[in-house]
Chains A and B, each alone.
Chain A
Amino acid sequence: MRVVIGEDEALLRTGLTHVMQAAGFDVVAAVGDAHELVRSTEEHLPDIVVTDIRMPPDHKDAGLRAAMEIRREHPGIAVLVLSQHLQRAYAVELLGDRSSGVGYLLKQRIADMDTFTDDLRRIAAGGTVLDPEVVNLMVARARGHHDALDRLTPRQQQVLALMSEGRTNASIARSLSISERAVVQHTSHIYDELGLAVSDDDHRRVLAVIRYLSS
């Protein structure tokens, strides 16, 4: 699996490269500039792009804008955005109207190598990965706007959070040590309660849930 990395901190860029190579990824380019990232991506057409948000040339959100441009221009290339600080607005923008093949994680998650490489593979396979922290933020905020969330049981709320992170039913079942059947029951109840259209497609359901939480 071919990867292009965008990270302006040289040490972290090297660290990321090592982690990914160790996990069997083929790092075809590692650059420290958002424009460079777009150029390298177009040149190498990798399977996945991993990028920081705050990067040259403006040291603002150039990395995020580059990630969105790549997603727009090359729908087949998966994108993982890393950041020191997570924001709801960034998650919503990044997902746009298509939640497949995208991830948004805290930078420090790369230290948990197994989980991180697992997430990378899910994203590359067209899945969605949102950091639990940004999901918590969105759920907590949405509670002030939607009474329906308070009508969910604690277990259903856990399931909702994991759904929002982009996890599959099997993965949710493993995390909560319950059966997949139970997960399906919970999710259908959540759909009813929130008034969402039932969708078997994991990617699409993330989008629906995130939109609901952000509305």
Chain B
Amino acid sequence: MVSLALIGAFGVVVAGVEIALFAGQDVAPWWLLALFPAGGCVYLAAGLEAWRRRPSNRTGPIMVIGALSWFVVALANTGTPALVAVGVVLATTPLAVVVWLLHAFPSGRLRSRTSRLTVVGSFVVSLVLEVPGYLFDPGASPGGMLSVGHRGDLVSAGTWLQRGAGMVVMLMTAGVLADRLRIATPGQRKVLLPLYAYGILAVLAMPLGPLLGPSAGLSVAQVVGLQIVLLAGVPVAFAAAMRRGGFARTAEIQELSAWLASSAATPELLADALGRTLGDASVQVVYASRDGRALVDGGGAPVETSALGEHRGLVDIELGSRRIGAIVYDATVIDDAELVRAAGQVAALAIDHDRLTAELRASHADLQQSRTRLVEAGDRARQRIAQDLHDGLQVELVLLALEAQHLGRMDGSADLPDAATRLRVGIDGAARHLREIVHALMPAALVERGLTAAIEDLVDRMPLPTRLAVAEVNGHLPAAVERTAYFVVAEALANAVKHAAADKVTVTLEHVPPRLVIGVTDDGVGGATQEGGVGLHGLADRVDALGGRFTIESPAGGGTHLLVELPCGS
């Protein structure tokens, strides 16, 4: 910023000195001579403003070079021979710079081969084809210092060659710009059209002015003055283009990150902020799907990168090594993909933050629901035990009590031993029911021998062929993990028998520290869902409560595969 101010101040000083030097001249009206440094100042002001707005864009520096060329040309009107000579040699460079500007706007770079050739050509026209003019005309430089002799024919030939080549350069420029307008979006056209039209008009005014001026009744001084005003208007046209948004100021990346930190980055607002930062209102933020492969827009609609069009650039937004989205921008406005990448890096945090917040909210809601379900599952289990005890065992005991009462009244009957045996068998039955209830609550094998033995016992009791594969499970698992694992297998096996119509089942149990991996696979009818059954859902919640993972694959007709991973310390 300070260096830009210094350049500006230097330019103003140069212009002031030049204007002061013109005071003693009488070759032309003083105001006409002063127009050269004044025009330079217009370029300088516009160039510095563009430079400030977009430090990484070369348009500003090009305009500053234009300003320099104006100051140099103005030297031709000073009284100092050496300075005059420099001014004479570089007399037409301001035109070449205007051509350069037109080709380079708005990205600041010459994007096509044709543009590069045309700009080089325009400098050849202004520097090389200018040579005969002062080489063979002693009157063109002070005291003929640049001249080798007087050859009017060569001077005239040189002038015509320069005009002809200049016309070719201008026609090519007009063609390139017309082509750009043709493929531009309506928004871009609104910005570019006035600029291009004016630029071409200003440049064409140079060769055409002397031809058309006299017939319009203008003096030579008036024609030259008009040409200077027209050329000095070029940076004004750029200013107009800026105002229309074609050359918006790019905010510093820090400003973007400050904005992101203080605002809720909804997709629309984020694209807006990125657009402001990058100076391209057409910026679009797209998001990567979970696997990072596909891209979707803020509304969730898929985005085809191949269908973006040749002038749309795309830069991935990455966090760590994961693609979380991409920025789509106008490659004709933004030349520097690195700038987009840098903005994307800053935005990545906001985008990820947004995603994490959404995930957190969702998981918090899940947690609440799962806790409620755990409580409900506990209540349901209690209710079922109460029901089993009440409907089964209690009724059995009442009947046995009645039978015992009956026994007491038999008093020496011959049937007494048989009745007593019946009573004992009945009590046996009640005891068996009680054992079953206790076993369902807390299996003896699990208490006595641990998980593997308990699952072996479950498998032993399966009414259909069941294979058990146990790897590396040797005791010392936390009790909560053992019990959850046991009930997962018990429920899955019960489902395989009751619902799956399976022919065979496989149970796998593997301790892969720090996890216990449990798999139950059957070849039954499938179609089981975690949501479908109370039993499975309750188990999923238990697994979840321990920080494990519960997945069920059960395509219709494709069997059921349950996979549970439980963290178990080591």
Contacts and interface: CB of A to CB of B under 8 A. Distances in A.
Contact of A61 (B431, B432, B435, B448): B448
A140 B453 CA distance: 18
Interface stretch (A23-31, A84-92, A197-205): A84-92
A111 B427 contact: yes
A178 interface: no
Contacts of A53: 444, 448
B461 interface: yes
Nearest to B427: A111
A137 B461 contact: yes
Contacts of B438: 84
Given A140-B463, A141-B460, A84 B435 contact: yes
Main secondary structure of the interface of B (DSSP, over half): helix
Contact of B460 (A61, A83, A84, A88): A88
Nearest to B465: A144
Nearest to B439: A85
Interface in B417-431: 424, 427-428, 431
B447 interface: yes
Interface string B442-454: 0111011100010
A150 interface: no
B444 A54 contact: yes
A144 B456 CA distance: 15
B255 interface: no
Contacts, number: 55
Contacts of A88: 456-457, 460
Interface of A: 53-54, 59-61, 64, 83-85, 87-89, 108, 111-112, 137-138, 140-141, 144-145
B464 interface: yes
Contact of B424 (A59, A61, A112, A138): A112
Contacts of B439: 85
Contacts of B443: 85
A137 B424 contact: no
Given A53-B448, A137-B461, A145-B465, 14 more contacts: A54-B444, A54-B447, A61-B449, A64-B448, A85-B435, A89-B449, A108-B431, A111-B424, A111-B428, A112-B428, A137-B460, A140-B461, A141-B460, A141-B462
12 contacts: A53-B444, A60-B448, A64-B448, A83-B444, A84-B444, A85-B435, A85-B444, A87-B460, A89-B453, A108-B431, A137-B460, A145-B465
A212 B435 CA distance: 29
Nearest to A64: B448
B345 interface: no
A85 to B, nearest CB: 4
Contact of A54 (B428, B435, B448, B465): B448
A144 B464 contact: yes
A122 B465 CA distance: 35
For A84, A108, A112, A145, which residue has the most chain B Cβ atoms within 10 angstroms? A108
